[in-house]
Amino acid sequence: MTKREQPAPAYLPGHGLLTDRTVVVTAGAGAGIGAAVVRRALEEGAKAVVVGDTHERRLAEAHQEWASEFGADRVRTRVCDVTREDHVEALLDLADEVGGVDVMVNNAGLGGTVSLLEMTDTQWSSVLDVTLTGTFRCVRAAGRRMVARGHAGVIVNNASVIGWRAQEGQAHYAAAKAGVMALTRSAAADFAEHGIRVNAVSPSLAMHPFLEKVTTPEFLTELKGREAFGRAAQPWEVANVMVFLASDYSSYMTGEVVSVSSQHA
């Protein structure tokens, strides 16, 4: 039976959850979850948001928009490829210029659809290097800087329900996202003695223009049908949960993977 699509709720105003904090976001330009996190962090009072992305033009356009709306002193951007350690360190250097990273949001990921029977080593390695190893590089770099400052910071990773549930053509992405979940739990255990919390979100389906470009309308309709609300999440609905995990409202949570999904209903 086709589910009737429920309307998305009204956009929520900020409540100062990240007041005076410096937030770093990877893959933050464009129109997806990363960009929604950047906007939400600024609305929640972040002192500065440092944004990395591999797409130079898109990053410049996003920077201009955010700086115009929130003030140039609160937004810093740098081209960042998370497969390169020097890029990750340079992004965090920007955060050091405004007091150092308080919140690290690891959003960078790479997908693709191909049967495991036809998947090449290059396709497998490319997805794992960005989605899993890239997240590892960022968690390690941010964690080291937080420890050096004696600072109880927060790290939030972006996983996926595909890390829990099989989906055709997604072996590389599923393995990477399952790895992000395991990395989150292990990093939380390693960092706990330093007061650093590490959690992750696991979205099911969040709608944005890039997804529409790489997915057929028929498959999107099928995916929406799996959701109890009959619709995809808005990127800001996922960002809201990431901001919650970054805030003091989740002060006793670490090593957790929070499902942002209506599939269980």
Q: Provide the annotated active-site residues.
A: 173
How many CB atoms are closer than 10 A to CB 2? 8
- Region of residue 10 (phi > 0: left; psi between -120 and 50: alpha; otherwise: beta): beta
Q: Hey, what are 76's tokens?
A: 């810093």
Residues with Cβ < 8 Å from 43, sequence gap 6 or more? 13, 14
Q: Hey, what are 16's tokens?
A: 């100062």
| 75/19 Cα distance (integer angstroms) | 14
How many CB atoms are closer than 10 A to CB 52? 28
Residues with Cβ < 8 Å from 3, sequence gap 6 or more? 224, 225, 227, 228, 229, 230
| 25/20 Cα distance (integer angstroms) | 16
DSSP 38-54: HHHHHHTT-SEEEEEES
Element (H, E) at 155: strand 154-158
CB 171 within 8 A of CB 212: no
Alpha-carbon dihedral sign for residues 10, 107, 21, 76: negative
